[in-house]
Chain A
Amino acid sequence: MQFIEDANKKALEIIQNAQPTLVGMGVARDTIPGMHDKLVLHAGPPITWEKMSGPLRGAVIGGLIYQGLASNPEEAEKLAASGEIEYAPCHEHNAVGPMAGVVTASMPVFIIENKSQGNFAYCTMNEGLGKVLRFGAYEPSVIKHLNWMEKTLYPILKEALEIYGPMDIKNLMAQSVQMGDECHNRNKATTSLFIRELASSILQTNSSKEDQIKVFDFLNSNDHFTLNLSMPAAKASLEPVGKVKDSTIVYTMCRNGTEFGIRVAALGNRWFTAPAEIIDGLYFPGYSMEDANPDIGDSSITETLGLGGFSMATAPAIVQFVGGTSQDAVNYTTQMYEITTEESGSYKLPPMNFRGSPTGIDIRKVVDTQIRPVINTGIAHKDAGVGQVGAGVVNPPMKCFEDALEAYVALLEEEGMLE
């Protein structure tokens, strides 16, 4: 029906014209709307402490300790379960977080503004690999590292960004997509560009040389640092779509380690969830599917925008995660055009003869063709704090899209839009 097509056209205009820009940094408490000391934000759709999986619980415990609300894990766990702590999805506070995605009030965050729509999105800084909070680790070393990020890394980056001024992240990603990044599981190019852009500004900050060196070493040692920029950039680009009436475009896909959840434009803030899957991927030596936690993290916001798995063709480096040839990667991307509405005007994929990445997931197409979005993702160990055990490809449960479609038709009926 025409009005649906028109609505989707509107949604796609918003996505295509998005202008995600890094405008600075701040502390969650002061920047994220509704943030307070007893609020813990997490990845994925809403969830209670009881239902949380290992890594998410671990991250909450670590977060509470970092926040100073508990002095040891036992205390933290008690507090977490006490009902005194409020939990909410990052997504419901204009934020996103990789893996467990835990954000507490004192954490520094990047501030992304979508200049074309004037909306904002927030994300913490990426901690790097190894024992890290986002995989549910909460031992002292983890908290220590978080404190270093807050006390040393944050002030320097914040000041550097003030010196540098607004940074066009869309432009950054558009370049890196042509340099072999899909901006989800491969971020090497983006991170390199980011360091290059910011280098002189960092040197201009009034901070000690040692600290500056530490900062550069840290950024250089962490290929995924800018994942925490491409995620909020995608979030900022998509968020306004959530207000487009009658549109069947998906504007959120995320996982909390227990459930997968999507949100669809016409259905606003309603979540459509189903059990998150165990990922059939490439496991690091010594690990197997038995060790894996079900799918977790907000990072699938990049796929929602048409990057990540949707742009797999451009990132040969991660083709091994799909256990295949570069032809397979091309086929993945080709297939994603079947369920999307347009080709991106900004993110062009060289191996696809510079076709724009598949953009604007339409729930009607997903249900009709039974082709589910393909997501590149890291795999967390099911036990808190063990860390990443592999990476691979995962699909959202079809149920999410079927329920959404059903709700959408019901909505149109209420509005008398269907005969």
Chain B
Amino acid sequence: MIKAIVKENAYNDSVTLMLISREVQKLDGVENVLVGMGTELNLDLVKTMDMFVPELEAVTPNDLFIAARYDESKVTMDDLVAAFNEEMNKKKESGSGDYQPPTLDSALKHLQGANMLVISIPGEYAAAEADKALREDLNVMMFSDNVKIEDELRLKKMAVEKGLLMMGPDCGTAIINGVPLCFANVVRRGKIGLVGASGTGTQEITVIAHQLGEGFSQVIGTGGRDLSETIGGLMMIQGIEALMADPETEVIVLVSKPPAASVEKKIYELVKKTDKPVVIDFIGGDAESIKEAGAYPCLSLEDAARKAVALVRGEEPVSFDAFDADEAEINQIVEQAVGKLKSEQKYLRGLYTGGTLTDEAIKYLGENHAIYSNIPLTADRNIKLLENKQGHICLDLGEDQFTRGRPHPMIDPQTRTDFFESHIDETTAIILVDVVLGYGSYVDPAGAVAESLAKARARVGDRDFVVVASVTGTDQDPQDLNKSIETLENAGAIVMPSNAQAVRLVDRIMKAAAL
């Protein structure tokens, strides 16, 4: 069967032209494909190959033609046309019919009773728009970063005065009235209220609590700078007060990097005032002062989730720093892992997309091992000090220094893909990764990791790595927790139920293999 399509005056650069012919040639059942401009000689070629058909009669030199000989039983003209158009039509079709106003003012006219502005425009403009919104009594979630700290202070003061939320700048995660905003997982509604200054930390706690069967009343983000001296924890305090007053909330969870001393004090004062149990994970913060405030300190994000769940159920919270799996099983995994390693394989490679998850990993592993990072435990472990990658590395790839203008690695996996290329080699023993699901995140982060692993294995030939992963997600997330776990396990990864357990396992293996 021979067919031809003609695109009159349909121009495309030769690169695309070649792509087309190659794409189409690939289709099963296609014997021969010719693509070109309709010049006399090109048509002669078509003729000598007995591929000339009436469709080509009227072709002119400025028309593009594609002629194909193929086996009808295997492939249809539609397939060819589809493959053809896929390459040809690069035009983006215009958006949906519903009206998209140019300004906030007019948006408020078109959406009666709007009460939340989610803003992710460039930082230099974000403050002004947030200002307008607060004046209009809208709550604000600001994903934009690079906002001046003076502006943040001014906006948050206004918000507190008016009893509004001013989440951010640089706030990526919140769940208000059950609605996940920006980067958030689909978790059931429930009795736990959370205020978080750290995005993926918040996500980790919410998904684990969900997996344990509990849910959340409100999840409020504050943005990373909220607990600094300058901002003074305005939003965290505002959030705690709201959760204290909220009838739906029975247990309050706070998560953040260690606050400025003065802010820490304010928060403890406030916490003393409520009779609702409060769980606090100031990652690596001082446990004693938390206890003094009558709150529950935590060993990890997972521990925070478990304690909150216990408290909601009226059980006495017990610290958890073990594994779900029993010791025997863990030991077996460790043994197998160690057995796998060749003598040249000496180093850990932690490639994280979530900031707080990286933080947790480094805080734990850094105690017993020399872990180099862009957010090191101690200055002498700064990644810049490590020569030609001869050491253990654990990176937060979400930092601008790595994304180089690309979207955050949770949205676009390319950055981590590149680091698999540049940082995984014969000397790599253990690969430690996080996989963050939920709205906002990439459609298939697990798949991206699996792909990178396959490539890396191909590169190093005879040997294999120990791959340890954890998935921050739920069965109701668009990407689906179980599907992601399956993808990773098929790619030969050991998938642990939490980042904390993944990190713990890595620690065991490193010790056992004396890395």
Residues from chain B with Cβ under 8 Å of A370 in the complex? 102
CA of A331 to CA of B95, assembled, Å: 13
Residues 80-114 of chain B, each 1 if its beta carbon lies under 8 Å from chain A, else 0: 00000000000000000101011100100000000
Chain A residues whose CB sits within 8 angstroms of the CB of B99 once the complex forms:
331, 334-335
CB <8 Å contact, B97 and A338? no
| CB neighbours of B102 from chain A (8 A) | 335, 338, 369-371
Q: Which residue of B lies closest to A368 (CB)?
A: B103
The answer to whether the Cβ of A87 comes within 8 Å of any Cβ in the partner chain is: no
Q: Which chain A residues lie closer than 8 Å to B101 at the CB level? A: 338
Q: Are A369 and B97 in contact (CB under 8 A)?
A: no
A52 to B99, CA, bound (A): 40
Tell me the bound Cα distance from A327 to B103 in angstroms. 20
Map CB proximity to A onto B379-419 as digits: 1 under 8 Å, 0 otherwise: 00000000000000000000000000000000000000000
Chain A positions 276-332 with a Cβ under 8 Å from a chain B Cβ: 327, 331
Q: What's the Cα separation between A327 and B102 when bound, in Å?
A: 18
User: Complex formed: what's the CA distance from A369 to B103 in Å?
Assistant: 8
Residues in A337-383 with C-beta less than 8 Å from chain B: 337-338, 368-371
Bound CA span A260–B101, Å: 27
Q: Which residue of B lies closest to A369 (CB)?
A: B102
Q: How far is the CB of A9 from chain B (nearest CB, A)?
A: 18
Chain A positions within 8 Å of B97 at CB level = 327, 331
**Closest residue on chain A to residue B110 by CB atoms:** A334
CA distance A46 to B33 in the complex (A): 61
* A30, chain B: closest CB distance, angstroms: 49
Nearest opposing residue in chain B for A371, CB measure: B102
**How far in angstroms is the closest Cβ of chain B from A120?**
37
Give the docked Cα–Cα distance between A338 and B102 (Å).
8
How many interface residues does B have (CB within 8 Å)?
6
Taking the closest CB of chain B, its distance from the CB of A362, in whole angstroms, is 13
- A334 partner residues in chain B, CB cutoff 8 A: 99
Cα separation A370 to B102 with both chains bound (whole Å): 9
Q: Which of A373-417 contact B (CB under 8 A)?
A: none
Task: Compute how far the CA of A335 lies from the CA of B102 in the bound complex, rounded to whole angstroms.
Answer: 9
Least CB distance, B292 to chain A, in whole angstroms: 54
Contacts of A335 in B (CB 8 A): 99, 102
Q: Bound state CA distance, A337 and B102, in angstroms?
A: 11
Q: How far is the CA of A338 from the CA of B107 in the complex (A)?
A: 10
A321–B97 Cα gap in the complex (Å)? Answer: 18
Q: In the bound complex, how far is the Cα of B99 from the Cα of A369, in angstroms?
A: 15
How distant is the Cα of A11 from the Cα of B101 in the complex, in angstroms?
Answer: 26
Q: Once the chains are docked, how many angstroms separate the CA of A337 from the CA of B106?
A: 9
- State the CA gap A335–B99 with chains docked (Å): 9
Closest residue to B106 on the A side, CB-wise?
Answer: A338
Q: Report A278 CB to chain B, min CB distance, Å.
A: 20
CA distance A61 to B17 in the complex (A): 54
A277 and B19 alpha carbons, distance in the complex (Å): 38
Report B103-133 residues with CB < 8 Å from chain A CB: 103, 106
- Min Cβ gap A377→B in Å is 23
Name the residue of chain B whose CB is nearest to the CB of A334.
B99
Q: How far is the CB of A34 from chain B (nearest CB, A)?
A: 42
* Cα A368 to Cα B125 with chains together (Å): 14
Enumerate chain B residues within 8 angstroms of A369, measured Cβ to Cβ.
102-103
A230 to chain B, nearest CB (A): 28
The residue on B at minimum CB distance from A328 is: B97
Query: How far does the Cβ of B103 sit from chain A's closest Cβ, in whole Å?
Result: 6
Interfacial chain A residues near B103, Cβ < 8 Å: 338, 368-369
A13–B404 Cα distance when bound, in Å, is 55
A376 to B103, CA, bound (A): 25
Q: How far is the CA of A371 from the CA of B97 in the complex (A)?
A: 18
Task: Produce 1/0 per residue, A179-214, CB < 8 A to B.
Answer: 000000000000000000000000000000000000
B495-511 vs A: 1/0 string, CB under 8 Å? 00000000000000000
Give the B-binding residues of A (Cβ under 8 A): 327, 331, 334-335, 337-338, 368-371
Provide a sorted-by-A list of 16 A–B residue pairs whose CB atoms are within 8 angstroms. A327-B97, A331-B97, A331-B99, A334-B99, A335-B99, A335-B102, A337-B106, A338-B101, A338-B102, A338-B103, A338-B106, A368-B103, A369-B102, A369-B103, A370-B102, A371-B102
For the complex of A and B, list the 5 residue pairs with the smallest distance between their C-beta atoms, beginning with the closest: A369-B102, A327-B97, A334-B99, A338-B106, A331-B99
Additional A-B contacts beyond A331-B97, A369-B102 (8; CB < 8 A)? A331-B99, A334-B99, A335-B99, A337-B106, A338-B101, A338-B103, A369-B103, A371-B102
